[in-house]
């Protein structure tokens, strides 16, 4: 098999990243945009010793699970990997992905998940979007998303996963850039000014935030930009974020307010949150409430428990749990997020939540070993890379009765659960929650409890 070979292939399986898997004389081909059950014509793009990557050229016989993607640039854009898959099949894929990782990486056998919690409508759910700004081959200023594994911008001002206001905001920003001759950032030579446009929306409040990420500390004709943006219904906060680094990291460390408030507000359940440009806040507020309700259920709070919420962000889970706990301690490495968390606690009249700045793997051992603060329940909601082993060691020492682990990556979740279950904890239950429709990503919520001497969990 070599590059540019063309084959007809039946798609038999799918990778965790959403690529269809077909075989030619037993030799596997990985084909992006193919769906299980399709028969496709595919062209080999890269051949390895034991497998090859191929491009979908034509669907010869569509799967029962294939649908027409509503987005015209779904195949070019790197955002949605499985828009051609029906939502019912997508939920099955995500549930299987979680279970496969728990078995393959964690070595768990004989466990099951509660039915995955899906969305009513898997579009228009994102309350946040970050659009790179650049010039296309014709020299026109464009906004959109990067094509998969590249920094080539696919023009799209109205992503169907985002809110409808995104297009109106980007129209205003690009109009200002063209009118006032403001250059987009050029990654090749580090020149130009406007790098990205970050947009947030409060779903229940309707408040909008715009944050331009710029290669400088000021912009020309800022009054013209503000005038264009403030006419948009719901506009509440207009900011500049300074990022002069030659880096792929989007946000810089300094944010300057141009107009309005330095934050917007939104609700999850009965808790109101202030959200600043650099805050971590779940991107799907409707599904987040379902996820947090499940975390609260798993925590089993009676009002007498001390809870540690690690990687707490702006206190989203902390404040959700504080209504049912005796005391909640939140830990987060981003200082601005902790400021938001403390403000959110005050704004909601929550006095039994305290927040600490620092790495969870450093703060928790100090608080536990030096000050003797224990935990009845530990809640973990780490980034995609999962938990540091030092933190897991301390959690084992704390001997919390229950651990509620919320994860956006079931592979690192499985690894961390294996560590904990080898050291005195057992699987009780878990569930997938679809926060990211039309992508391969899925949240998982798991409950572990301290292992009694008469109980065990089977591992391979």
DSSP string, 78-145: SS-S-TTB-HHHHHHHHHHHHHHHHHHTT-B-S---EEEE--SSSSS--SEEEEEEEE-TTS-EEEEE
Give SS3 for 29. strand
Q: Where are the alpha helices (DSSP H) in 180-305?
A: 222-230, 285-299
Residues with a catalytic annotation lie at 408
Structure tokens at 408: 């956006």
State the first-to-last Cα distance of the chain, in angstroms, to the nearest integer: 37
Give SS3 for 154. strand
Residue corresponding to tokens 């809640």: 379
Which residues in 292-341 belong to E strands, given as ranges?
A: 306-310, 327-332
Burial of 368 from C-beta contacts in 10 A (0-12 / 13-18 / 19+) = middle
- Give the number of other Cβ atoms within 10 Å of residue 366's Cβ: 13
CB contact at 8 A, 325 and 350: no
Distance, in Å, from the CA atom of 15 to the CA atom of 299, rounded to the nearest integer, reads 33
Please choose, from the candidates 108, 16, 90, 72, the residue with its C-alpha nearest in 3D space to the C-alpha of residue 426.
Answer: 108
Helix (H) or strand (E) holding 165: helix 165-179
Q: Where are the alpha helices (DSSP H) in 350-440?
A: 360-371, 389-398, 410-421
- In the annotated binding site, the residues are 282, 311, 332, 381
List residues bridging with 406 in a β-sheet. Answer: 445
- In the annotated binding site for S-adenosyl-L-methionine, the residues are 282, 311, 332, 381
């Amino acid at each position: 098999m070599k590059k540019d070979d063309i084959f007809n292939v039946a798609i038999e399986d799918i990778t965790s990243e959403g690529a269809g898997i077909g075989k030619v004389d037993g030799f596997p081909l990985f084909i992006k945009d193919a769906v299980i059950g399709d028969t496709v014509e595919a062209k080999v793009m890269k051949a390895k010793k034991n497998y090859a990557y191929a491009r979908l050229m034509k669907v010869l016989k569509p799967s029962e699970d294939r649908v027409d993607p509503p987005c015209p640039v779904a195949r070019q854009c790197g955002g949605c990997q499985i828009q051609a898959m029906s939502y019912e099949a997508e939920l099955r894929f995500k549930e299987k992905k979680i279970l496969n990782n728990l078995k393959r990486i964690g070595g768990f056998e004989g466990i099951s998940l509660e039915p995955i919690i899906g969305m009513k409508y898997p579009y228009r759910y994102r309350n946040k979007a970050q659009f790179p700004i650049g010039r296309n081959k014709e020299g026109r200023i464009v906004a959109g998303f990067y094509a998969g594994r590249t920094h080539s911008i696919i023009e799209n001002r109205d992503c169907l996963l985002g809110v409808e206001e995104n297009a109106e905001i980007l129209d205003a920003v690009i109009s200002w850039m063209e009118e006032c001759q403001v250059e987009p950032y050029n990654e090749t030579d580090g020149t130009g000014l406007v790098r990205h446009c970050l947009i947030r929306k409060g779903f229940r409040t309707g408040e909008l935030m715009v944050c331009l990420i710029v290669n400088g500390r000021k912009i020309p004709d800022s009054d013209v930009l503000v005038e264009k943006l403030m006419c948009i219904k719901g506009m509440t906060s207009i900011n500049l974020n300074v990022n002069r680094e030659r880096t792929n990291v989007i946000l810089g460390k300094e944010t300057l307010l141009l107009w309005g408030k330095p934050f917007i507000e939104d609700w999850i359940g009965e808790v109101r949150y202030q959200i600043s440009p650099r805050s971590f806040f779940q991107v799907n507020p409707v599904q987040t409430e379902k996820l947090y309700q499940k975390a609260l259920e798993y925590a089993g709070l009676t009002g007498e428990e001390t809870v540690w919420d690690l990687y707490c962000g702006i206190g989203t889970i902390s404040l959700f749990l504080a209504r049912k706990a005796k005391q909640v301690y939140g830990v987060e490495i981003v200082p601005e997020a902790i400021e938001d968390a403390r403000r959110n606690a005050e704004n909601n009249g929550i006095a039994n939540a305290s927040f600490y700045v620092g790495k969870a793997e450093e703060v928790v051992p100090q608080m536990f070993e030096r000050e003797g603060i224990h935990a009845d329940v530990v809640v973990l909601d780490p980034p995609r890379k999962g938990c540091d082993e030092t933190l897991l060691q301390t959690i084992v020492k704390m001997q919390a009765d229950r651990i509620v682990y919320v994860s956006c990556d079931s592979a690192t979740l499985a690894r961390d659960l294996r560590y904990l279950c080898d050291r005195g904890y057992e699987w009780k239950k878990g569930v997938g929650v679809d926060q990211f429709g039309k992508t391969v990503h899925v949240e998982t919520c798991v409950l572990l409890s301290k292992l009694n001497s008469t109980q065990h969990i089977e591992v391979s």
